Amino acid sequence: MTVQPITNRPVTGADVIKGLKELGVRKGMTLLVHSSMRSFRRFVPGGASAILAALTEVIGPEGTLVMPTQSHDLTDPSSWMNPPLDESWWELVRQEIPAYDPVWTLTGGMGVIVETFRGLPGTERSGHPHVSLAARGPAASGLLEDHQPDFGLGEHSPLAKLYEADAYVLLLGCGHDSNTSLHLAEYRTAYHGREKITHQAPMMVDGAKVWVAFQDFNITSDDFEQLGHDFERDCPACFTRVNIGEASCFLARQRDLVDYAERWLATNR
């Protein structure tokens, strides 16, 4: 088999730094990042490490970098649907799934940039077994502390603390369907069809693994792409877009996004 050579110009760390600055990322920012390595569609020398180095350089030591590090695999097997698990194995799986651990538990479906970030020495991670966030920088500990299981993306979550801190949201080559901050608006809006549901996850309690039940709303990102499209249409002065390589990247204040999303959800859901 003939291996095709790489012909497109690589996307370098310097390109990423330039693009981030054009977006408006600056030193001292608290930045909530969602990312897709594939979206660059070109070779990136250094891969995810180069992207993280660029982000870290642009916000500087006084800035704080935050990423969602979700782990939805830590759910009760009776709820698995894609694919479902034979009922005869449920108890075995419950016994064998390790308890959530901020250091050991891998992310699920978050991408190589997030997983690399999670594993860096000095990165902190919150205690929620399904919707944790990780952070590095002077504000990290305060943003992540006391992330309780109930209503994990609501008023007592790092998302709400990011809102109070006037953080910014960066979509690095991904769409608004990955925009975790929009979930905060779901908690703040009594939209049609909102219901309380119960989740379970294995956690360490007093030194032993326990399947802990906790409450949440039936949140969904199914309409977030339309929500984000309408935000960009209606609030053109509230965001910037720049291509880095072939990745379309977006930056906006989290408050602007969440406030708009509250109004949008109340009308459109």
pLDDT digits (tens, 9 = 90+) for 97-136: 999 999 999 998 899 999 999 999 999 999 999 999 999 9
Cis peptide before 83 (omega within 30 of 0): yes
DSSP 105: P
Is 3 within a domain? no
Q: What is the pLDDT of residues 245-268, one digit of tens each?
A: 999 999 999 999 999 999 999 999
- Give the structural domain span for 132: 13-268
Q: What is the pLDDT of residues 150-193, one digit of tens each?
A: 999 999 999 999 999 999 999 999 999 999 999 999 999 988 88
For the chain, what is the domain count? Answer: 1
Is 8 within a domain? no
Contacts of 144 (CB under 8 A, 6+ apart): 124, 125, 126, 127, 133, 134, 135, 158
Is 103 within a domain? yes
Contacts of 80 (CB under 8 A, 6+ apart): none
Is 6 within a domain? no
Is 248 within a domain? yes
Closest CA to 169 of 257, 43, 262, 38: 257
Is 35 within a domain? yes
Is 159 within a domain? yes
Q: What is the pLDDT of residues 57-83, one digit of tens each?
A: 999 999 999 999 999 889 999 988 888
- In whole angstroms, give the CA distance from residue 157 to residue 100: 17
- In whole angstroms, give the CA distance from residue 245 to residue 173: 10
